[in-house]
Amino acid sequence: MKKLWGGRFSKTPAQWIEEFGASITFDQALVLEDIEGSLAHVNMLGSCGIISQEESKTISDGLKRLQEKAVNGKLVFSVSEEDIHLNLEKMLLDDIGPVAGKLHTGRSRNDQVATDMHLYLKKCVITMIELLKEMQTSLIEQAEQHIETAIPGYTHLQRAQPVSFAHHLLAYFWMLERDKERFQESLKRIDLSPLGASALAGTTFPIDRAYTAKLLGFSQIYENSMDAVSDRDYIVEFLSNASLTMTHLSRLAEEIILWSSQEFQFIELDDTYATGSSIMPQKKNPDMAELIRGKTGRVYGHLMSLLTVLKGLPLSYNKDMQEDKEGMFDTVETLSGSLKIFAGMIKTMTVRKDVMEQAVHRDFSNATELADYLANKGMPFRQAHEIVGKLVFTCIQKGCYLQDLTLEELQDGAAQIEGDVFEILSPHRAIKRRNSYGGTGFQQVEKQLEKAKQSLSKAMS
Ligand code: ARG
């Protein structure tokens, strides 16, 4: 079939070659952005007198008809028209005749595709920020219920010191807060218009780039036409921000998986976020959390892939850049899906407070308490550490915990130990006393929760 760019060609490519080069199978996701960009461009061509007002209106009306069909899913795309831009131009030609050819005046697919991607990503980033907020809301809601729920805090995945479960959850709130900030800041670099850069060098037509930018809702325009068509930094940045968010989700996914295991039993996932086994009737698997942990890998892959595509590309547009799309679309889908799942999974999970409490009462996570107790009595901390370490060793040999030792046994370790020591050894007391700024002390956690809520409501207004 004759190509829209076919003038200088005497042969057309074989179908499989066409298929290899085509992007329509995936860039049809940009259909609405492409029409939006064309509407702005043709409006500008008319108002700058580059084409007549009448021609502008005919093209515009044709584009609006395509828009309506696109919204209703009525457009049928063809691989022989290569990409979304040529598919739409061909459809317009079929509808309004040769005047359709005037739409591309002073424009190239190079600034056109860049415009589409900017419009698309801007919307997606705003959606990601909203979804991050939803997940933060779930974390806050659970945290509010569990300020005074004690859970073992871990380092090296070994019991370290007891913490408030709310404190643990809120750590993720702040990670997401930074993610949100990063997405928000990236908008500044997405929100600029490449339209009018044309193929690479600008155009001889008296176009008005500021006008199209305004129509499209962009707050700035690219200063350099070659940069405008070659820049994919904003996509790399999006993939990088998405990768970091996925890292955070993956870490929490890992904890959800551990916590819902028979070994921990700290939480139970709602049935709607778990699945069974086809062979083992007893199983309740945390599939969604596992999948999110797994999908993190593909998002990292997309980031690495685009960086590699761009590395070594000479200015300005190169067809390699068509490879920017699938990874970006997939990342949008993966990240938004993961955030939605997480918001629901956190909100609906059952927290087994009783099991958490039992856990903190049957471990050595109060050992630092005892060392601090001795240090408070004037003993150098290093010496206190040594003594408590020996007491722990005694316990291990006896098969008990520090709080199970008698006062006399404790005093064998250090004569300074008195009867008040048992109160010190209580995990709740240990948590309560960590009242340093940002610590797990209940009072601090309440303050932290207040701050978290404030940040969230500020971001919402
Ligand atoms: N499908 C192309 C892409 O996604 C559109 C731009 C094509 N430009 C060109 N000069 N071949 O990058």
321 Cβ below 6 A of ligand 1: yes
**Which value, in Å, is the radius of gyration of the alpha carbons in the chain?**
31
13-33 mean pLDDT: 95
Token output for 165: 């479960």
110 Cβ below 6 A of ligand 1: yes
pLDDT higher than threshold 70 for residue 461: no
How distant is the alpha carbon of residue 16 from its chain centre? 36
Task: Return the ligand 1 atom nearest residue 325 CA.
Answer: 4
Per CATH, the number for 110-147+163-204+229-351 is: 1.20.200.10
Instruction: Tell how far the Cα of 324 is from the centroid of ligand 1, in angstroms.
Output: 11
Mean residue pLDDT of the chain comes to 95
Dist CA 229 CA 208 (whole Å): 17
Token output for 145: 């219920």
Q: How confident is the model at residue 372 (pLDDT cuts 50, 70, 90)?
A: very high
Among 2-6, 53-57, 103-107, 451-455, whose mean pLDDT is lowest?
A: 2-6
Instruction: Tell how far the Cα of 361 is from the centroid of ligand 1, in angstroms.
Output: 64
**Confidence at residue 166, expressed as pLDDT on a 0 to 100 scale:** 98
109 Cβ below 6 A of ligand 1: yes
Task: Return the ligand 1 atom nearest residue 199 CA.
Answer: 10
Instruction: Tell how far the Cα of 82 is from the centroid of ligand 1, in angstroms.
Output: 9
pLDDT higher than threshold 90 for residue 96: yes
**Confidence at residue 254, expressed as pLDDT on a 0 to 100 scale:** 98
239-244 mean pLDDT: 98
CATH class held by domain 361-449: mainly alpha
Q: What is the pTM of this model?
A: 0.94
Q: What is the pLDDT of residues 393-415, one digit of tens each?
A: 999 999 999 999 999 999 999 99
236-243 mean pLDDT: 98
Q: What is the pLDDT of residues 139-156, one digit of tens each?
A: 999 999 999 999 999 999
Q: What is the pLDDT of residues 334-363, one digit of tens each?
A: 999 999 999 999 999 999 999 999 999 998
pLDDT higher than threshold 60 for residue 215: yes
Amino acid in position 6:
G
27 Cβ below 6 A of ligand 1: yes
Q: What is the pLDDT of residues 171-193, one digit of tens each?
A: 999 999 999 999 999 999 999 99
Active site residues: 156, 277
Instruction: Tell how far the Cα of 227 is from the centroid of ligand 1, in angstroms.
Output: 16
Q: What is the pLDDT of residues 411-447, one digit of tens each?
A: 999 999 999 999 999 999 999 999 999 999 999 999 9
87 Cβ below 6 A of ligand 1: no
92-103 mean pLDDT: 98
Q: How confident is the model at residue 138 (pLDDT cuts 50, 70, 90)?
A: very high
Instruction: Tell how far the Cα of 300 is from the centroid of ligand 1, in angstroms.
Output: 25
**116 compared with 460, residue with greater pLDDT:** 116
The CA distances from residue 335 to 242, 256, 293, in Å, are 7, 18, 11
Choosing from 110, 121, 195 the residue with most ligand 1 atoms within 8 A of its CB, the one to mutate for a pocket test is 110
**Confidence at residue 460, expressed as pLDDT on a 0 to 100 scale:** 59
Amino acid in position 105:
T
Backbone angles phi, psi at 53, to 5 degrees: -60, -35
Instruction: Tell how far the Cα of 19 is from the centroid of ligand 1, in angstroms.
Output: 14
290-306 mean pLDDT: 98
The third-level CATH classification (topology) of the domain covering 14-105 is Fumarase C; Chain B, domain 1 (1.10.275)
Choosing from 113, 120, 195, 316 the residue with most ligand 1 atoms within 8 A of its CB, the one to mutate for a pocket test is 113
Per-domain boundaries in the chain: 14-105, 110-147+163-204+229-351, 361-449
23 Cβ below 6 A of ligand 1: yes
Dist CA 225 CA 233 (whole Å): 15
